[in-house]
Structure 1
């Protein structure tokens, strides 16, 4: 999948969304309607930034962003008081 379908915005009671290991480069603004979303798995995509829409989600506590192409984070990420800090260590062989 290279794009999140807009129909996802209709799932307003959704609590967990797994979108890891796709080729996503952006996320739609329509995701702002996922007000109950608690966990969003975006690991292993091609995201270069975190959209502000994710930072403003009131219930989002876990945001998986490892293994993307992140170059910037929004300034507002510090205001995301519900996010639980997590760490990811890359394994080396």
Structure 2
């Protein structure tokens, strides 16, 4: 069975955005505007690009007090969700996420 996005399901390459228009249902790659690229000296296909992007945003958050990257609480919520999904799969019962 193939893994989604890469080894062990981890996405480490360049992200692509695809879209269509109403008249033509053909999927095309949409350009990602430069304002969404915070790391200029690293090619988007580099394995470390996405991590570097996150670190650049974290540095900006620390400098400016903004909140553009996930924090500890977001990580905790995600882990609780994943735990609930696993438990639901194991037991066949609906789980609530606290």
Fold-level match, TM-score > 0.5?
Answer: no
Answer 1 or 2: higher relative contact order, Cα 8 Å, separation at least 6.
1
Instruction: Calculate the TM-score normalised by the size of structure 1.
Output: 0.25
Return the structure number with greater helix share: 2
Instruction: Calculate the TM-score normalised by the size of structure 2.
Output: 0.24
* Larger Rg, first or second structure (1 or 2): 2
